[in-house]
Amino acid sequence: MEMKTKDGRLRSQQFRLIGWLFLLALTVGYWGSLANAQATNAQISGRVVDQTGAVILNATIDVQNTGTGLARKVSSSSTGEYAIPSIPVGTYKLSAVAAGFKTYTQSGIVLEGGQTARVDVILQVGSASETVEVSAAAVQVDTSSATIRTEVDTRQIQELPLNTRNSLQLVTLVPGVGNASASGAGTSSLPAVVINQRSGPLLTVNGSRANGSQLSLDGAILVTGLYNRPANLPNPDSIGEFSLLTNSFGAEYGHASGGAFVAVSKSGTNSFHGSAWEFLRNDALNARNWFVNAPAPNPIYKQHQFGVAGGGPILKDKAFFYVTYQGLRLHQVTLESLATITPAQRTGDFSATAAQLIDPKNATCGTNGNGPGSGTNPCNYSAANGYVLPRATNTRSEVITAQQKRI
């Protein structure tokens, strides 16, 4: 009985320890997600005064997301200041109420990832049943931070042309950002089409190394583990906005020595919305390839990029969903120009060749056929049959290789 009792106590302690470890893991994950979210959320701050400039304390400030219904409420301090930190990006409506003053409302406040928007409130004397409405666009000047940041919003992502369907292509429009590749800064690393999430474009920010930039999506760092280079973002219809921080950014971007690319994915709202797309590229619509001699047809190129995206509410003002899918069907024939030999040389006739030919077996080859020449062993031209016949009159050959990709 004693052994069973001790064993039972030991098992109970083990289960209790496992339970505490599980709770600790959940807590760390929760607070870790909040820490990551600080890089993609925004903040509203300001000061509440009356028409004479006197501060108003204990004024109730209420902000509400017009898309999801998310609401936050604070009160102004003894100096009239207020701050609402860590709120998701989106469009908000702000209202301020204080005893003896009219209700103040301001709509159209667009918050971007990592932004600290300053919205000062001026209350007018009157009844709280009266309302002063103000319509405003996004706050463009962030006076609370020295960060140099360029924002690319949803409208720019959707309306600006993206031949590669890669949102990061828009970053090259920012001053100081260069597009580099393994072949040097003069060549482009943006692929003709994004075929995987890895091997993203190599971007240099203000002369920094290509692997010195950080790319994050919703707070999660997206870089390849081997070379520390940015990966590709999901399709543009799944990205709500992204920004590029090029100087004086905070410690939460300590992974970046050059620039920090911060992307925020789209989310559902209280209304259902969606989109579908099909982008077609076809060789029948293309001009003649420079390296294709008439009347030969253009190399085959048929590309289809298609997909759907949609979101909406699960529980009004509580839970939302957003899903997206993009497919790629690519059938292409690539045209390459390679050095080859003439038909006469394939038969062993090198009479048009001025240089003396040397066989690997140390035999000096003749220039007219497969004769032994002056060496001890005959020259072997059988390897010449493996060369591709030229399609032009010179010794250059256009080699056609077919590629198919289905993603």
The band of 394, judged by pLDDT with boundaries at 50, 70 and 90, is very low
* CATH 2.170.130.10-classified regions of the chain: 148-330
Q: Is the pLDDT of residue 291 over 70?
A: yes
Nearest to 147 by CA among 112, 99, 183: 112
- The pLDDT score that the predictor gives to residue 43 is 87
Residue with the bigger pLDDT between 68 and 4: it is 68
* CATH 2.60.40.1120-classified regions of the chain: 42-135
- The pLDDT score that the predictor gives to residue 216 is 85
The answer to whether 247 and 148 are in contact (CB under 8 A) is: yes
> What is the torsional sign of CA 379, 385, 386, 387?
positive
Lowest-confidence region among 11-25, 255-269, 373-387: 373-387
All residues at 6 or more sequence positions from 121 whose CB lies less than 8 Å from its CB, including other chains: 46, 47, 48, 49, 59, 61, 94, 96, 104, 106
Cα-only R_g, the chain = 33
The CATH H-level (homologous superfamily) assignment of domain 42-135 is Carboxypeptidase-like, regulatory domain (2.60.40.1120)
Average pLDDT over residues 40-68: 90
The band of 181, judged by pLDDT with boundaries at 50, 70 and 90, is low
The answer to whether 113 and 145 are in contact (CB under 8 A) is: no
Q: How far, in Å, CA of 245 to CA of 178, rounded?
A: 14
Q: Enter the tokens of residue 214.
A: 């950080």
- 198-209: per-residue pLDDT in tens? 667 777 888 888
The answer to whether 216 and 39 are in contact (CB under 8 A) is: yes
SS3 232: coil
Residue 236 C-beta-side C-alpha neighbours within 13 Å:
26
- The pLDDT score that the predictor gives to residue 32 is 46
Q: How far, in Å, CA of 56 to CA of 63, rounded?
A: 18
The band of 310, judged by pLDDT with boundaries at 50, 70 and 90, is very high
Q: Per DSSP, what are the bridge partners of residue 331?
A: 302, 404
Average pLDDT over residues 86-110: 90
- Which residue type is seen at 124? Q
Average pLDDT over residues 38-62: 87
- 209-242: per-residue pLDDT in tens? 877 888 888 888 888 777 777 777 888 888 888 8
- Which CATH code fits 148-330? 2.170.130.10
The answer to whether 84 and 68 are in contact (CB under 8 A) is: no
Residue with the bigger pLDDT between 6 and 84: it is 84
Q: Is the pLDDT of residue 188 over 80?
A: no
Q: For residue 13, with 0-12 CB atoms within 10 Å meaning exposed, 13-18 middle and 19 or more buried, which class applies?
A: exposed
Q: Is the pLDDT of residue 36 over 50?
A: no
The band of 363, judged by pLDDT with boundaries at 50, 70 and 90, is low
Q: Enter the tokens of residue 363.
A: 């035999």
Average pLDDT over residues 165-185: 73
Task: Determine phi and psi for 366, rounding to 5 degrees.
Answer: -80, 160
Nearest to 256 by CA among 265, 267, 266, 243: 243
